[in-house]
Structure 1
Amino acid sequence: MSSVIATGLLPRTAETRPGGLAVGGVLLTELARRFGTPLFVYDEEHLRQRCREAVAAFGPDGVAYASKAFLCTAMARLAHEEGLLLDVASGGELRVARHAGVPADRIVLHGNNKDEAELRTAITAGVRYVVVDSFDEMDRIERLHATEGLPPARVQLRVAPGVAAGAHEAIRTGGNDSKFGFGLAGGVAAAAVRRAAASPAMILEGVHAHVGSQVLDAAELAAGAAAVARFAAEVGARRLTVGGGLGVAYEAGQRAPSFADWAAGVRAAVRGAGWGGAVTVEPGRSIAAQAGLTLYRVGTIKRIEGVRTYVSVDGGMSDNLRPALYGSRYEVFLPRCPGAPRPLRARLVGKHCESGDVIVDDAALPADLRVSDVLATPVTGAYGYAMASNYNKLPRPAVVFVREGRARTVVRRETDEDLLRLDVAGPAELAAPGPVRSAGADTGAPR
């Protein structure tokens, strides 16, 4: 059985040392000892290199980091420092980006159901543009302009081009049957363009589309880009955004296109569709996924004769929902011996009260795996921490960035106190228990 280290799934600074695998110059086993587990570890140099590669492929102001993949103050600051715009999908993500010092005119606001508070904050701050998703959203923008005197909102209109791509139905977003955008079919998108262009509350900046996520064939992304580019050229749009969706390799044998390949395909497609202007893309997963990995500690090894072996770790679906949500697949390895053969087959599971709490269904592991070992799942930098929850009241893990032999906490681990922080009733406010009535007692009161 080949080792994970040979698959190209690890962060770029990963190297094998006498004590095991190191990332950013720090042993993973040492990180687990210092910061505890579960733990998200990001290779900061990898993140920065991916940002630079994206900018080199698409040009200055041609890349907006899709922060839904992974966002914290440090990540927002890093993406901004590397010249990326930030694509945020809620008022909360907008607040994090602003807290990180990202200027409003470097931020793009997405979302299929933005409320008035989110729109008010974005327009008042002066974000680069709002990606408008519906006529109801136009109503809200016009109401804020008319009743509160907000300045006109710079907008792009999200179009559903009738092209859907992606590894799972739940992440295919560009088809005709989608909650996102104005459909090209039936002239809906054209009507949206006419309304936005005529509205005093909106300045029409351009057209936007996103066809799906985890796409490993650049031709699928090019097809979506061509469809929206054709429409953008027909309506005389000033700018064109073709979304993100570029996939990454999660398992040995998978291959993903480079940013350069993606850019070449998109440019050829939009030119062929009659678009001669600049193009903006919104990568998220392809920036963050391979830069991150998750460390767990083994708590139980349960061998069921004639059935399978279960290996349980101290995290699970609360820090990686993708296997349960999308059927996503991962590799797993032992940081203390990353190059070891992996003949043991086992189901790697979490500690949640769900049979579906599976991290890797048929994991390949070293034969000498033991309780208390640290395990690592690579390529968890996107949609791991971003989707983390407190299911079963587990505190969410810490996040550390590693670089040049140093590790720094960028998101601290939640504590038991954090789990009670939002509860309204404190211990002193709990009502005293009422009298206990013995069975069969009759007080004469109505029952």
Structure 2
Amino acid sequence: MGSPDFSLFQTSPNKRSLLHKAPSLIAEGFLFVGGASMALSLVWALLSFINPSSSFDTIITWNTTRQGLDLGYDPSEPTFYDDPNLSYSVGDATQKWDEKRREWLRVHPSFGGVDRILVVTGSQPSVCKNPVGDHLQLRLFKNKVDYCRIHGCDVFYNNVLLDPKGTGFWAKYPILKAAMVAHPEAEWIWWVDSDAIFTDMEFKLPLEKYKDHNLVVHGWWHMVKKQSWTSVNAGVLLIRNCQWSLDFIDEWASMGPQGPAQEKWGETQKSLLKDKLYPGSDDQSALIYLLLKQKQKWGDKVYLEGEYNFQSYWLGVVDGLDDITKGYMEVDRQVSKLRRRHAEKVSEFYGAMREQYMKEKGIWKENVRRPFMTHFTGCEPCSGEYNPDYTWEACWNGMQKALNFADNQVLRTYGFVHPDLLNSSLVSPLPFDFPA
């Protein structure tokens, strides 16, 4: 059933001779060539003095920059990559990582000065059992690519097991470590489960808020203290690329199949968390254990984000998406600047403007603002399995609505929109100055 407001989407250019100057021109030409040659020789000598081992091919390079990054430059000066003992694997301790990253950034100066984010996500290596599973996985990945393009994040999609023992929710930790080593330019690695959808494409992470922390997950400290399994959710996490994080990942993953005592850890977690549903050791329970039992060692660097929807449980979100859309359209009717057509590359500017306006009006609150991310926990789009508390139809419709809700924010910049959140195929052109 379409939203009523979407009915608005439908639509109803004295010259002087040079001959006597020839000898003079020839002489001047020789002077120019000679001067240029001397200048080039001086430049070459200076460059050779600065870097005697350089060749002309490595000094003069094509400008292959992207957003100010020099992607065509990698000096011959040794870095940690030249160490034969470098390991990308969890369990193989990496030492002095902060120093190694700083040294790499020193010899690659175009990558410094910005807190770069690498979004990491993935899926299983085999074909989905669910007939629509691969289609859903594609759309779920498109959603993440859209968000990354708008906000200038890099993205890595992995669909292989980097550690054969690390299956299920434990599969992400080998990926996280490998991503840190492969991307020393990234200050943050942002893991996003495949079934989590960005549903506010304008929202930008408040990184300044986390400047004193190394791990950000959705959760509440008061719930952790109550030893509740639902006090955090490890399906979406932001982790700093630093030595602390590598050490924490090794400690975290040691409670899973990569460690020597997974069965024992499962029993320990179950006795600690009375509402834990799974008998075996899982990464969410392992995180809560570390926060409770090793808080002095790790806790000060962990930020539990509960002030905005870092991720939201889908059942409490999808039925309200139409009303949220109406609320945003009402704001746009009131503020002409928000209705202005603009290039996708400047979307962050308009997103910040809208956020500030809604805060000033006191309407930037839950169930009115878009949830930043909607997580379809309990719906497994690839296998087709689902929590028995609801139906597959509810999962399917919920994912369609959330994906189209997010896609509308992208398509609006391209002049189109889905008039019905349950119809992924139908789009309509937007009239000028919509939705005035």
Please give the TM-score of this superposition, normalised by the length of structure 1. Answer: 0.22
Please give the TM-score of this superposition, normalised by the length of structure 2. Answer: 0.23
Greater helix fraction, Structure 1 or Structure 2: 2
If you compute each CA radius of gyration, which structure gives the higher value, 1 or 2?
Answer: 2
Greater strand fraction, Structure 1 or Structure 2: 1
